[in-house]
């Protein structure tokens, strides 16, 4: 089997950020307006009054303090409560492609490669802004990559499943170098009028370059990671859903079709699935959990990540053992674990192991055992 590495990553972060305080203020303004407008119906028992949100709840229940978004003003406008993306002409670059170009350009620079060196582009994300043509094909052309390109969606696990697809293409010899890009515009799929989830998501884009170790070795990279093992799992669940799509385009309340979840059930059911998966990926390489320096986990909920790490490591993790980015980025779906890996890996010494792990809707989960093979020791 070929030795395959992640040779570089890239990150695009939108310039707009929304604090919990700002989000809660606008939500509570919306609630006040709604309850005033519907006063009579509420008093007659025909409608339920809406309850306000709270910063304290959000931080305690999730660990999220702020989120980056592509368009802030309309999300915070109590009359709108949704981002307003100016429609783009077919001749203009799509939003997802634009984010992809930014993240991919940084990854290519970090990998000391140019776009022509890439012969497969995978756009892996939990939502795409259109059905076709594939965003990946647009991105391939915008960057100037060769080969072929396609989109794929495994919700929050899109990035790890995309990396596995890249790994397989390299092992099979169908591709030499693969760019996996995760443009997540979660604000477009979030119902900001829903108290249970209005605080959960943010927008971002990550990019990863995957190639053979021999190819990466030929360049003077400071840091790259060998993919030692992969484990993927899926198990059908209705507990995280987004029903928005072309079969319900005439819906009266399209916002009601957007993201919804049974958060408690997800919390309880996904944790054991992830703990088993990480144990399996580590043991399949004849390693044990004390050999693992860092867990770059999906970023949905800080309590969930701490519990997963505690079950695996026997104690609450240090920030190096399980880095958290959701405090500033919120849940960015498939990009979350990649942001954690992108920002928090300098402490790793050559030879040390870490696990990058995604989990979420489907259910789906993906775990990759990575070994640092070159770079400045931490």
Catalytic residues: 156
Q: Does 259 engage in binding with ligand CO8 (CB under 6 A)? A: yes
The sheet with strand 224-234 has its strands ordered as 148-152, 120-124, 177-185, 203-212, 4-12, 224-234, 364-374, 353-360, 292-297
With contacts defined by CB under 6 A, name the span among 111-119, 195-203, 227-235, 345-353 that binds ligand CO8.
195-203
Nearer to ligand CO8, 65 or 177 (CB): 65
Helix ranges restricted to H, the chain: 20-37, 39-43, 55-62, 73-76, 95-111, 135-143, 158-172, 213-217, 263-283, 302-313, 326-329, 336-343
Nearer to ligand CO8, 184 or 352 (CB): 184
With contacts defined by CB under 6 A, name the span among 1-9, 51-59, 77-85, 347-355 that binds ligand CO8.
51-59
Q: Does 329 engage in binding with ligand CO8 (CB under 6 A)? A: no
Nearer to ligand CO8, 36 or 264 (CB): 264
d(CA 306, CA 69): 26
Give the x/- contact pattern for ligand CO8 in 239-258, rule: CB under 6 A: -x-x----------------
Nearer to ligand CO8, 112 or 234 (CB): 234
- Contacts of ligand CO8 in 300-319 (CB under 6 A): 300-301, 304
Q: Does 108 engage in binding with ligand CO8 (CB under 6 A)? A: no
Report in angstroms how near the CB of residue 271 gets to ligand CO8 at its nearest.
Answer: 9
- Determine contact, residues 355/369, Cβ cutoff 8 Å: yes
Closest Cα partner for 123 from 148, 146, 87? 148
How far is CA 163 from each of CA 122, 181, 209, rounded to the nearest angstrom? 9, 10, 9
Report in angstroms how near the CB of residue 34 gets to ligand CO8 at its nearest.
Answer: 15
Q: Does 267 engage in binding with ligand CO8 (CB under 6 A)? A: yes
The residue within the footprint of ligand CO8, chosen from 108, 135, 190, 330 (CB under 6 A), is 190
Virtual CA dihedral for 322, 324, 326, 327, nearest 10 degrees? 150
d(CA 12, CA 193): 27
Give the SS3 label for residue 333: helix
- Contacts of ligand CO8 in 333-362 (CB under 6 A): 333, 360-361
Q: Which residues contact 205 (CB under 8 A, 6 or more apart)?
A: 11, 12, 96, 99, 100, 102, 103, 181, 182, 183, 184, 335
Report in angstroms how near the CB of residue 270 gets to ligand CO8 at its nearest.
Answer: 6
The residue within the footprint of ligand CO8, chosen from 17, 59, 61, 273 (CB under 6 A), is 61
The single residue listed with the structure tokens 């408690």 is 264
d(CA 309, CA 312): 5
DSSP state of 157: G
Nearer to ligand CO8, 114 or 235 (CB): 235
Task: Give the binding site for ligand CO8 (CB under 6 A).
Answer: 53-54, 57-58, 61-62, 126-127, 155-156, 186, 189-190, 195-196, 199, 201, 240, 242, 259, 261, 263-264, 266-267, 300-301, 304, 331, 333, 360-361
């Amino acid at each position: 089997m070929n030795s395959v590495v992640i040779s570089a990553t890239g990150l695009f972060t939108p310039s707009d950020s929304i604090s919990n305080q700002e989000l809660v203020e606008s939500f509570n303004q919306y609630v006040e307006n709604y309850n005033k407008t519907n006063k009579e119906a509420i008093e007659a028992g025909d409608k339920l009054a809406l309850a306000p949100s709270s910063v304290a709840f959000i931080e305690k229940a999730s660990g999220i303090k702020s989120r980056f978004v592509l368009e802030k003003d309309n999300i915070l406008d109590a009359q709108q409560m949704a981002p307003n993306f100016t429609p783009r002409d077919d001749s203009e670059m799509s939003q997802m492609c634009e984010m992809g170009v930014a993240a991919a350009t940084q990854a290519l620079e970090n990998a000391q490669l140019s776009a022509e060196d890439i012969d497969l582009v995978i756009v892996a994300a939990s939502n795409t802004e259109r059905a076709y043509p594939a965003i990946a094909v647009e991105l391939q052309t915008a960057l100037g990559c060769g080969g072929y390109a396609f989109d794929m969606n495994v919700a929050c696990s899109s990035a790890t499943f995309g990396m596995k697809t890249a790994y397989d293409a390299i092992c099979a010899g169908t591709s030499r170098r693969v760019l996996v890009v995760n443009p997540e515009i979660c604000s477009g799929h979030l119902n900001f009028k829903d108290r249970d989830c209005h605080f959960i998501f943010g927008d971002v884009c990550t990019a990863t370059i995957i190639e053979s170790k021999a190819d990466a070795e030929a360049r003077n990279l400071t840091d790259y990671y060998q993919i030692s093992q992969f484990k993927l799992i899926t198990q059908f669940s209705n507990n995280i859903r987004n029903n928005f799509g072309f079969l319900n385009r005439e819906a009266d309340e399209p916002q009601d079709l957007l993201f919804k979840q049974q958060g408690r059930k997800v919390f309880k059911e996904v944790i054991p699935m992830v703990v088993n998966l990480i144990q399996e990926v580590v043991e399949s390489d004849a390693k044990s959990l004390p050999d693992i320096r860092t867990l770059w986990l999906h970023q949905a909920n800080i309590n969930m990540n701490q519990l997963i790490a505690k079950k695996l490591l026997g104690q609450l993790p240090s920030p190096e053992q399980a880095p958290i980015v959701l405090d500033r980025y919120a849940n960015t779906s498939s990009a979350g674990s990649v942001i954690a890996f992108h920002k928090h890996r300098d402490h790793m010494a050559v030879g040390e192991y870490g696990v990058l792990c995604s989990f979420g809707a489907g259910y789906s989960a993906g775990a990759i055992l990575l070994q640092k093979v070159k770079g400045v020791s931490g």
